[in-house]
Amino acid sequence: MRREIGRWIAVLALACAPVAFAQGGTAIDRGGEAPTSDEPDVNYTEVIVGLIEKLGKTKTEAQDASVKLSRLGSRALPMLADLVAKTDNAQVKFYAAYALSLMKDPAAGKALMPILKDPNADKELRKLAMQATRGGQGTMSVGELVRIAQNPEEDSDLRFMALKELSVKIESFADLELPFAEALSNDRDDIRQLAAKQCFQAATTKVIYLTAEPKLVEMAEKDAVFFCRSNAIAALARMKSRMAVPALLRILADEKATPQLKDQALNGLKAITQIPFVSIEKAKAWADNGGAKPYESAKPLLADEAAAKYKEDLQKRVKALTGEAQAPPAPAEGAKDDKNAPATPAGPAEQPGEIQRGQ
């Protein structure tokens, strides 16, 4: 009896350990790999069953059990996936899904995909399913997220979260112009702000959302929300939008514009014109002396004659994503997506603001 109790304590202690000091970590830290000779001989099934029983108890116990189950990785994954699919207990289903979402494992994302695809599923469960896509499901998860983001019938919170999850799918940036360009016209402040920030982030990876340029210019000058305007300016500066110059100059002349917004506009003007203006007054003098005249008739980055074909191609890309989400192809053997690749850092003069949630 004492030996069994000792084994349970050892396993739970390992599950609670934030980081293992030994190379590669413990079996629990490594997501369920075979234990080394230094790790205790344990019955993981009993441990997992014991933790699963706690998912139906108090909120504190359920949350604690979820975290521990997530650290047991692939050992706990099959039982959790089965539980999510079959249980009728709402609390148990939620915390089992929560444990899976914490794993950031492709298999966990696959287990929660039916919830993500079900418009009638519980809203909070679908949020967890979105989080689980960070573990990697390739175009399948991206396609479902795009479907949600573009569907006006979906809950606006879910659409915001879908866009937020898409904003970290760096490998798919080139295919995501359409949903983010459309989101620039959304009624929700936080969605517009996120969409403008994504235009900036994409540009840092040398992916320019050409169709977003006119709306970004409008947002920079006229949006009622400071962070929407600020992010739009940052995006236009990184995109080197010549047609944004007149709008930036009007911001500098606007008595109602905040000093922070004027500083952002000045930095944007420097980035686009490649002229190191030392002050707002210098920029105004440059414009008054005719320096801005060539920009008054500047054409958009997307030429009119190419716009129709370009937009058609964007539509095809989105249809390819959402079509593959319905019938995903088998992944190539050894294929691997780098889901955690860091975004190119922004320069201090161009850094967009943090997303402020709408009311």
If asked whether residues 204 and 304 sit together in one domain, one would say yes
Give the E-state strand segments of 146-197 in sequence order: none
- Among 103, 119, 152, the domain-final residue is 103
- Among 60, 77, 103, the domain-final residue is 103
Residue 79's nearest CA partner among 52, 105, 106 is 52
Compute the chain's Rg from CA coordinates.
25
If asked whether residues 60 and 209 sit together in one domain, one would say no
pLDDT value of residue 166 = 94
Residue 59's nearest CA partner among 48, 70, 47, 67 is 67
If asked whether residues 96 and 192 sit together in one domain, one would say no
Q: How confident is the model at residue 165 (pLDDT cuts 50, 70, 90)?
A: very high
- Rounded to the nearest integer, the mean pLDDT of the chain is 82
If asked whether residues 90 and 203 sit together in one domain, one would say no
pLDDT value of residue 325 = 41
pLDDT by residue (tens digit) across 206-231? 999 999 999 999 999 999 999 999 99
pLDDT value of residue 135 = 57
Indicate the number of domains in the chain: 2
Neighbours of 21 (CB within 10 A): 7
- Among 103, 127, 142, the domain-final residue is 103
Residue 226 lies inside a defined structural domain of this protein:
yes
- According to DSSP, residue 290 is labeled T
Residue 83 lies inside a defined structural domain of this protein:
yes
Tokens of 265: 């506009």
DSSP string, 2-64: HHHHHHHHHHHHHHH-SS-SSTT--TTTTTSPPP-TTS----HHHHHHHHHHGGGS-HHHHHH
pLDDT by residue (tens digit) across 34-75? 444 455 556 888 999 999 999 999 999 999 999 999 999 999
If asked whether residues 218 and 294 sit together in one domain, one would say yes
pLDDT by residue (tens digit) across 262-295? 999 999 999 999 999 999 999 999 999 999 999 9
Domain boundaries, position 190: 170-319+338-359
Residue 204 lies inside a defined structural domain of this protein:
yes
If asked whether residues 241 and 345 sit together in one domain, one would say yes
Residue 55's nearest CA partner among 66, 39, 47 is 66
